[in-house]
Amino acid sequence: MLYGIFSDVHANLEAFRAVLRFYEKNKVEHFICCGDLVGYGPQPRECVELVMALKDCRSVLGNHDAAVTGRIEMKWFNANALAAIEFARKNLSGAALAFLSALPEKLETPDFTVVHGSPKKPLTEYLLGEIQFVDSLKFWTVSPCFMGHTHMPAYFKHDAAGLPETDFLGPMLRVVSDGGRLMLNPGSVGQPRDGDPRSSCAVYDTENKVFEIFRVPYDIEKTTRLMSEFKMPVILGERLLLGF
């Protein structure tokens, strides 16, 4: 079975549509969303409704989703992020808000685990290093564990000797499971932060245990024009152009 793994859409409809077209072209019909459908971007309602319309999508709550629904304190956000959160609150439909409100912070199935930040602190921790990875192991059981939040594609795993190993490779990243504990980050659909402005997403092949990152181009200027039209903070659009 092929799963489309994606995270951090951040209300960027143009990017999200491009990723979904990529999945459709490659016959991916099952999905895992690692959170943050809203925040930063100009079309929160449309992005949430697209996920709601997917036939088989397992989703968890992101920190921006939690802020919009009142489940996390505003102290975690800077002024630009807060402006986008308020924009999302005003533009989400009742059905979209209800969908976000019902999302779990952690999803554990017989085949995989899903969180936004980390298993230890699902909404707030940026999992960036091997020490954090080792510390998180006692907070989850089923491997692989899919996550987002950092907006950078990456993997964490134990090697054959039981030592932690990680990599933050750029445009392409292919990881084959050897049976050890694995944490996998598909990067960000709507606001990449690894210097590549193209959308980042992943495909996980459950039969061959292969996780692969793909970069998908989209019309960035169309998104930034819409952000300007809605008078959103200028820096949020500039970051899309830079991929940072």
| Tens of pLDDT, residues 145-164 | 999 999 999 999 887 667 78
**Rounded to an integer, what distance in angstroms lies between the CA atom of residue 155 and that of residue 180?**
12
Residue boundaries of the structural domains of the chain: 2-242
Average pLDDT of the segment spanning 3-27:
98
10 phi/psi in degrees, rounded to 5? 50, 50
Whether the CB-CB separation of 69 and 42 falls below 8 Å is answered with no
Q: Which residue has the tokens 């089923």?
A: 142
Please give the model's pTM, rounded to 2 decimal places.
0.95
Q: Which CATH class is domain 2-242?
A: alpha beta
Of 11, 4, 119, 137, the residue nearest 68 (C-alpha): 11
**Rounded to an integer, what distance in angstroms lies between the CA atom of residue 114 and that of residue 41?**
23
In Å, how far are 160, 190, 241 from 222, measured between CA atoms?
Answer: 47, 13, 11
